[in-house]
Amino acid sequence: MINAKDWQQEQERLDLVTEQLRSTIAGLEPEVAGLRDQATDIRKRFWEEVTVNTSTHEDFEETFYSIKQQEAILSERERSHKLRMQRWKNMKRLLPSPYFGRFDFQEDGLSLSEQIYIGVSSFVGEDGLSFLVYDWRTPIASLYYDYSPGEAAYETPGGQIAGTMKLKRQYQIRDGQLRNVFDTSITIGDELLQQVLGKGADAQMKSIVATIQKEQNAIIRNDKSRMLIVQGAAGSGKTSAALQRVAYLLYKHRDRLRADQIVLFSPNPMFNSYVSTVLPELGEENMQQTTFQEYLAYWLGSAFRLEDPFEQIEYVLTAGSTQDYEARLSGIQYKASEAYLLALQSYASWLGKEGMLFRAIRFRDRELITAEQMKSQFYGYDSNVRLANRVILLREWLLQELTSLERKEREALWVQDELDYLDNEQYAEAYGELLKKVQREDAVFDFTSEYVEAYGDFRGKEQGEENVFDFAGQEEELLRRMIVKESFKPLRKDVKRFEFIDTIGLYDQLFDEDATFRQMPNESEVPERWSEICKQTKEKLGKLELFYEDATPFLYLKELIEGIRTNTEVRHLFVDEGQDYSPFQYAFLKRLFPRARMTVLGDFGQAIFPQATNLHEADSPLIRLYGEDETNLIRLVRSYRSTREIVEFTRSLLPGEHIVPFDRGGRKPYLSKVGSGEERTARIIKDLAALEAEGFDSIAIITKTAAESREAYEALTSQGCEGLRLITKETITFEKGAAVMPAYLAKGVEFDAVLIYDASSQAYNRESERKLFYTACTRAMHRLLLYATGEWTPYIRALDTTLFEVEQ
Ligand SMILES: Nc1ncnc2c1ncn2[C@@H]1O[C@H](COP(=O)(O)OP(=O)(O)OP(=O)(O)O)[C@@H](O)[C@H]1O
């Protein structure tokens, strides 16, 4: 705390800033409102002022330019409106708490030091010159996060600026009143951080700008590497740092980076809702958020029933005793690997020579173009042309073939039949429609070759020398064209969508045990239990279903053949829970977003999926992805989420991990042995009530699987436990209160208290499930309670008994 005189001075300054903020806001208000009116007004009159007339070419052009002009005026006004609006919003946001930190900095060579106050946005005083508040993202503000009083330096676009930090303070301000002021010296922000971390969990993640730690600041401001990897312990602030980094990037590159050019891949839809308020709180728009599964479903969902990663993990956790289990696991690991990616590449180059599979183009139960014809056409192309380019050539050829087949088809009997079905009225109507269509197409100068041909013929005849127009004949001719054209439309559409390639067959062929795959150069990479893997994969494909581990490779093969889909708009890609993606998926993401920088945040200690990627070891495929020179690796070892007691307990579950607890004390994890399932239910109900009475309002009962969650939920609700929620993979909103969920859905989020439903050796016995157990326990901020009906899991039995309390 500071002395009374300093406090007085600080409150006076705060009053001054508040006063100026108020008058700036008041000054902006009429302007903002006026601009809003103008923009709405112009919107209303928009269509009155432009002349919509497209009957001649000139009219069309005039209309076009008139619209353009109106558009330009509107967008200029909207831009200036947006800027003022933004400023007004920023000031409003500052008002209740204009800043949270201050330091005094004397630049080398200058005799005076400057007071720098830091807040969520910059504020220049009424004189138009002095910064009363600096945005936390300005270069100078980084001193606040990186240094304690003493020598200090920061980077600017013009080079490094060095000097001395004289003083450093933190503030808690509510509604324009100073609540707390801390002079900080050695450790940055400990007092304030203590207070922040001591609070309860929220349904929404909070911004951490006031207490960003030095190592987190390095992540937020890293703007050099193509790939930034953050390996951080549970609760070390990876997600928090990622979100502040987005805000930082949007600020730093505000002239050229839009929020929709940033994409965050999140572990599940509920997580999206959990983090969705952080950026708006910081005055920025949210980035795009998606899950990998959403991407896969978009491209493959209509062709297959796709397994999702949660179904896959349920299988891994529950099917241990089934016959196919080991093979499936070996398949999952292999299909996640770079070796498999290489195998697919060599498979594609083999397909360049032989083995392509096509699907005949069928029309009215006939094969119009056979697979054989396509094959011979395809392999007739120069073999030096890339596979995907040859496929394009084939597509063009098919479209041409369809055009000539279509012409022939006009004389077919079925066309005559269709014509015969038209009664006079329909006939005239169809013809009228046809003419209208032709004219419409004409008016916008964009008519297909068919119409040009038809219309040209029509006009030629109409205006021909003899001036004889066989109206009936032409009518029929045109209708025939139309009828056939309509029926051929789906065929053309399919060809354009590469439906003529039998991608499923090609993927299936890869699993012909003794055929294609064996001809590939890296045969040595064939995984264990290959023949069983082949059988499983083929069976699944046969049912038009795709294992989760096959979905990305399938899409990749499809792209090797049809050409790669890329998104060149996206500039920054964030992958949270990065350990859960396979090396294969990373290679895929790199191709998909060729112009994006990547930030991957994860914790190998929480790698619960069998296809996990190690983020930080020397041999990590992630480091290889862009190469060491383009990659920066930052480790976070300090854990902020949980109390010291919980961190000491959880880190012992993962021997060898270096994790440092933040110094916040609490109760030790509490172990309750119960005699039966009923006893457990009763015990949990009692504990829930006690926790709620203590003021904890975000409580998770974490189970191992979804089935166990349902069981727990039913047992608890049938015994009168009220207001409990059951979280499933479909849950999209994160709410306060008590909820039951499987561990893999609790990823990334946190709770005041966590109750591990079953920590017995029956539930957690295998070494492969240790990380799942660790992930579940590390969700707890203040309290961790564990239950078991039989003996404790071996992970707990191996612990030092001083790390927990046992119910007596
Ligand atoms: N510098 C900080 N100031 C205040 N709170 C912080 C800070 N860093 C982290 N926290 C808090 O610690 C908790 C954990 O942070 P976060 O969820 O970002 O960690 P994580 O590394 O992504 O965790 P996990 O991998 O376990 O999901 C959050 O409540 C967050 O607000």
Ligand 1: centre distance to CA 292 (Å): 23
3-state secondary structure of 316: helix
pLDDT of residue 597: 96
Ligand 1: centre distance to CA 236 (Å): 5
Residue 29 and residue 88: Cα distance in Å, rounded?
Answer: 8
CATH number, position 731: 3.40.50.300
Locate the ligand 1 atom nearest the alpha carbon of residue 243 and give its number.
18
Q: Examine the domain organization and report whether 786 and 700 are in the same domain.
A: yes
Ligand 1: centre distance to CA 617 (Å): 23
Nearest CA to ligand 1 atom 18: 237
Ligand 1: centre distance to CA 228 (Å): 18
Ligand 1: centre distance to CA 253 (Å): 25
Residue 646 and residue 5: Cα distance in Å, rounded?
Answer: 41
Alpha-carbon 221 to chain mean position: 21
Which alpha helices (H) appear in 202-262, and where do they start and end? Answer: 214-220, 238-252
The answer to whether 232 is a known ligand-binding residue is yes
Asked whether residue 328 is assigned to any structural domain, the reply reads: yes
552 pLDDT higher than 60: yes
The answer to whether 237 is a known ligand-binding residue is yes
Q: Examine the domain organization and report whether 677 and 757 are in the same domain.
A: yes
Asked whether residue 516 is assigned to any structural domain, the reply reads: yes
Residue 618 and residue 502: Cα distance in Å, rounded?
Answer: 40
Locate the ligand 1 atom nearest the alpha carbon of residue 216 and give its number.
1
Torsion-angle region of residue 518: left (phi > 0), alpha (psi -120 to 50) or beta? alpha
**77 vs 539, more confident:** 539
72 pLDDT higher than 80: no
Most confident segment among 123-127, 438-442, 487-491: 487-491
Ligand 1: centre distance to CA 592 (Å): 30
Residue range 80-112, pLDDT digits in tens: 777 888 888 899 999 999 999 999 999 999 999
Residue range 365-413, pLDDT digits in tens: 899 999 999 999 999 999 899 999 999 999 999 999 999 999 998 888 8
Q: Examine the domain organization and report whether 554 and 701 are in the same domain.
A: no
608 pLDDT higher than 60: yes
Q: Examine the domain organization and report whether 759 and 693 are in the same domain.
A: yes
Q: Examine the domain organization and report whether 472 and 503 are in the same domain.
A: no
Q: Examine the domain organization and report whether 554 and 686 are in the same domain.
A: no
Q: Examine the domain organization and report whether 447 and 507 are in the same domain.
A: no
Question: Per DSSP, which regions of 490-553 are E strands?
Answer: 545-546
pLDDT of residue 474: 64
The answer to whether 239 is a known ligand-binding residue is yes
Ligand 1: centre distance to CA 748 (Å): 9
Mutate to test the pocket of ligand 1, among 641, 660, 751, 781 (most ligand atoms within 8 A of CB): 641
Q: How many CB atoms lie within 10 A of CB 100?
A: 22
Mutate to test the pocket of ligand 1, among 192, 239, 664 (most ligand atoms within 8 A of CB): 239
Q: Examine the domain organization and report whether 726 and 762 are in the same domain.
A: yes
Asked whether residue 168 is assigned to any structural domain, the reply reads: no
Locate the ligand 1 atom nearest the alpha carbon of residue 603 and give its number.
25
Q: What is the mean pLDDT of residues 615-642?
A: 89
Contact 333, 611 (CB under 8 A): yes
What's 139's DSSP letter? G
**What interface predicted TM-score (ipTM) does this complex get?**
0.99
Locate the ligand 1 atom nearest the alpha carbon of residue 602 and give its number.
25
Asked whether residue 246 is assigned to any structural domain, the reply reads: no
Mutate to test the pocket of ligand 1, among 240, 282, 580 (most ligand atoms within 8 A of CB): 240
Locate the ligand 1 atom nearest the alpha carbon of residue 576 and give its number.
22
Asked whether residue 354 is assigned to any structural domain, the reply reads: yes
Q: Examine the domain organization and report whether 742 and 666 are in the same domain.
A: yes
Asked whether residue 772 is assigned to any structural domain, the reply reads: yes
Residue range 279-332, pLDDT digits in tens: 998 889 899 998 888 888 888 878 889 999 999 999 998 887 788 899 999 999
Amino acid symbol at 57: H
Q: What is the mean pLDDT of residues 429-455?
A: 55
The answer to whether 236 is a known ligand-binding residue is yes
Asked whether residue 88 is assigned to any structural domain, the reply reads: no
Q: Which of 615, 610, 547, 550 is nearest to 577 (CA)?
A: 615
Total of domains in the chain: 3
Of the residues 450, 480, 510, the one at which a domain ends = 480
- Total-model pTM: 0.84
Locate the ligand 1 atom nearest the alpha carbon of residue 240 and give its number.
18
Q: Examine the domain organization and report whether 369 and 511 are in the same domain.
A: yes
50 pLDDT higher than 80: no
Asked whether residue 725 is assigned to any structural domain, the reply reads: yes
Ligand 1: centre distance to CA 238 (Å): 6
What's 125's DSSP letter? -
Of the residues 420, 451, 480, the one at which a domain ends = 480
Nearest CA to ligand 1 atom 16: 237
Question: Per DSSP, which regions of 24-158 are E strands?
Answer: 101-107, 114-119, 123-124, 131-135, 150-156
Most confident segment among 29-43, 320-334, 351-365, 460-474: 351-365
Angle, CA of 482, 418 and 491, to the nearest 5°: 50
Q: Examine the domain organization and report whether 382 and 454 are in the same domain.
A: no
Nearest CA to ligand 1 atom 9: 237
Q: Examine the domain organization and report whether 779 and 661 are in the same domain.
A: yes
Mutate to test the pocket of ligand 1, among 100, 207, 208 (most ligand atoms within 8 A of CB): 208
Give Cα separations from 728 to 310, 717, 741, 787 (angstroms). Answer: 10, 16, 7, 22
3-state secondary structure of 452: helix
pLDDT of residue 614: 81
Mutate to test the pocket of ligand 1, among 640, 662, 754, 784 (most ligand atoms within 8 A of CB): 640
Ligand 1: centre distance to CA 468 (Å): 83
What is the domain range of residue 545?
322-389+499-558
2 pLDDT higher than 60: yes
Q: How many CB atoms lie within 10 A of CB 803?
A: 17
Residue range 558-602, pLDDT digits in tens: 999 998 888 889 999 999 999 999 989 999 999 999 999 999 999
Residue 463 and residue 39: Cα distance in Å, rounded?
Answer: 51
Pocket of ligand 1 (CB under 6 A): 193, 196-197, 206, 208, 211-213, 216, 232, 234-240, 603, 640-641, 748, 750, 778
Residue range 190-244, pLDDT digits in tens: 777 888 887 776 777 888 988 899 999 999 999 888 999 999 999 999 999 999 9
Ligand 1: centre distance to CA 641 (Å): 6
What pLDDT band is residue 515 in, cutting at 50, 70 and 90?
Answer: low
